[in-house]
Chain A
Amino acid sequence: MTKRVLLYAAMLGIVVVSLFPFFWMVVTSLKPDADIFTKTPEFLPTSPIFDRYLHLFDGPVPRQFLNSVLVAGATTLITGVIALLAGYALARYKIPLRRYLLIVILSIQMLPQTVLVIPLFVVLRNTDLLGTYQGLILSHLALTVGLATYMLRSFYLDIPVELEESAMVDGASRLKAVRLVVFPLVWPGLAASSIYGFITSWNELMFSATYMQQSERETLPVALQQYFSSYYSDWGGVMAASVIFTIPVVVFFLLVQKRLMQGMVAGAVKG
């Protein structure tokens, strides 16, 4: 019995620590200034105000929101396609040096971003892609394709080769067999790598802050960082902006979390 109590106490602790910053962010954004700047914290807004959100939505936030959706969406899509194809090749073909290729792909994930940020700036400048969606999406691919491919490969490995083979016996070409039999089964893996790609791209700051200098193409992380550096003493407004920035990624996460867990489990078990 005590063991159960301890367990639930531990779970409660974990939940509180995990959720508190979210809770505090939302609550602060809804409190009037008089309740924010108090020595003893007010845990619930007595008279919540929504003005800050209205002001933000009246400004450039909708535009920045769209920019972020565009960049993160395209990154996710392209990552998905690349990983879907490459993952299959790496799972099914005995390619020479496959082992090394896998190591390369995994080590991309280990690269410090600072190694990429300067030369990519130069490359994008020389190709006139600086400050364009395409440029930023390209730079984000560097961060996402490695793990996504690896994840998908482990999903393909889980699907028995016999399934494809028997389909081919029935007269389907390999491509058709893959399309009809394998892709439906690998779908959870695609979902997992998609959420991974989306979160990575949506949250990425260093590349975005360096490459996206056009007024109209600013994405949310850059805007939030600029906003914070200008109005940091307006904590209520800053928190409201943070909430807007956090909601989409949390919603997306909750929608596909089941698949993501599967993906991570698969990745973890195979090591």
Chain B
Amino acid sequence: MTLTAQENRRAGAPQRARPPRRSLRLDRFGLPSLLLAPLLAVVVGVVGYPIVRTIWLSFHEGEYLISGPFNGLDNYTALFADPYFVAALIRTTLFAVVCVCCTLLISLAVALVLDVGSWLTRIVTVIVLLPWAMPRVASGIVWKWIFNDQYGIANWLLVSLGFDQFQGYAWFNSGFSSLVAITIAVVWHSVPFIAISMLAGLRATRGEVLEAARVDGANFMQLLLRIRLPMMKPLLTILGVMSTIFAYQSFDHFLVMTTPPGGPSHSTEVLSLLTWLQAFTVLDQGAAAAMAVVTFVLLAGITAVYVRLSKEDK
């Protein structure tokens, strides 16, 4: 990536999309490079270099956050020999799958409701987007309180609905129920952005094709599945990638909602949290860097699959 950017700069001499009738010398040569320079500086300095450095670190010892000697693949073999890491890898992936499915389906439902349109749509749209603005730390805290075993409103609601087994139910005692609560909190947080983007996508599908099909007597579901969603495919791909990455990145919610972070007894450890704890609590940056690289490769792979899938059907 870094290379691409640098080549780009060196390549210099840009051609304009449509040559204007008048231009300055600065215009022809320096200006585009000048305009891109700050961006490229950030991309190279704060993103490109760190990626390279992380990969480098992952092949070195790194106790107490001090780079040690080269140790080949030791960090990686140690990782995959560690049952807790493997468990966290699988757990994160399952969590992400559930999160992404819930997020996309709920977002679509929300977008469809808003797409119908009414005098309320405008204000409801703003309200829908509001949870996105709420700091994740704060929302994690609020959801933890909602799922409190003794005084939480979730248990009260469930018991009122007749599910008596939720009387004093301790959501954060086991990995599974903790993850259910965290999933709800994370989905609540990630739906807004996706839903509003989908709404924009749905609006863009309105037009002659849709009208013609409607005149031909296609019903709501047929319109949606046969015409509108296929038209939105590129957008849906991007949203799919985005929500996958949201889910894999979930960190704040896990840090705030589980006690100890990743507990009880390792049952809510996910990649981001584990990597961070490995680096800054265990202070083993080599192992942590290896975890980060694994996450990175995994996400790159998933993104590639999404892109491939969306292209194949075209």
Q: Are A116 and B245 in contact (CB under 8 A)?
A: no
Residue of A nearest to B289 (CB): A118
Do B145 and A210 touch across chains, with their CB atoms under 8 A apart? no
Q: Are B255 and A205 in contact (CB under 8 A)?
A: yes
B134 and chain A: residue at smallest CB distance: A246
Query: In the complex, which residues of chain A have a beta carbon less than 8 angstroms from the beta carbon of B291?
Result: 114
Among B7, B24, B252, B293, the one with the most A-chain Cβ atoms within 10 Å of its Cβ is B252
B101 at the interface (CB under 8 A from A): no
* Residue from B5, B45, B271 in contact with A114 in the complex, judged by beta carbons closer than 8 Å: B271
With A120-B50, A123-B50, A174-B23 in contact, do A104 and B133 touch (Cβ < 8 Å)?
A: no
> In whole angstroms, what is the CA distance A174 to B235 when docked?
34
Known: A21-B142, A173-B24. A82 touches B38 (CB 8 A): yes
Q: Flag if A112 contacts B292 (CB, 8 Å).
A: yes
| A169 engages B126 (CB within 8 Å) | no
Residues of A with C-beta under 8 A to B34: 85
With A39-B156, A225-B256, A250-B130: A174-B24 Cβ-Cβ less than 8 Å: yes
- Give the segment of A7-15, A45-53, A183-191 that binds chain B: A7-15
Question: Contact string, A142-160, partner B, CB cutoff 8 A, digits 1/0?
Answer: 1001100100000000000
- The answer to the question of A32 belonging to the interface, with a C-beta cut-off of 8 Å to chain B, is no
- Our pick among A19, A116, A225 for the contact of B50 (Cβ within 8 Å) is A116
A101-118 at interface with B (beta carbon < 8 Å): 101, 104-105, 107-118
Cβ-neighbour of B7 out of A38, A97, A116, A165 (below 8 A): A97
| Contact in complex: A101, B38 (CB < 8 Å) | no
Q: What does DSSP make chain A's interface, helix, strand, loop or mixed?
A: helix
Give the interface residue-count category, chain A.
35 or more
Q: How far is the CA of A234 from the CA of B43 in the complex (A)?
A: 43
Interface string of B222-238 (1 = CB under 8 A from A): 00000000000011001
A256-268 CB mask vs B (1 if < 8 Å, else 0) is 0100110011011
Q: Which residue of B lies closest to A202 (CB)?
A: B135
Q: Are the C-beta atoms of B200 and A242 separated by less than 8 Å?
A: no
Residue of B nearest to A139 (CB): B46
A243 / chain B contacts, CB cutoff of 8 Å: 138
Is B295 a contact partner of A112 (Cβ separation < 8 A)?
Answer: yes
Whether B151 lies near A37 (C-beta < 8 A) is: yes
Binding site for A on B (CB under 8 A): 1, 4-5, 7-8, 11, 14-18, 20-24, 27, 31-32, 34-36, 38-39, 42-43, 45-47, 49-51, 53-54, 57, 65, 67, 110, 113-114, 116, 118, 120, 124-139, 141-143, 145-146, 148, 150-151, 153, 156, 188, 192-193, 196-198, 200-201, 203-204, 234-235, 238, 241-242, 245, 248-249, 251-252, 255-256, 271-272, 275-276, 279-280, 285, 288-289, 291-293, 295-296, 299, 303
Q: Can you spell out 8 A-B residue pairs with CB atoms less than 8 angstroms apart?
A: A17-B188, A18-B130, A22-B130, A107-B1, A123-B53, A235-B151, A245-B135, A268-B198
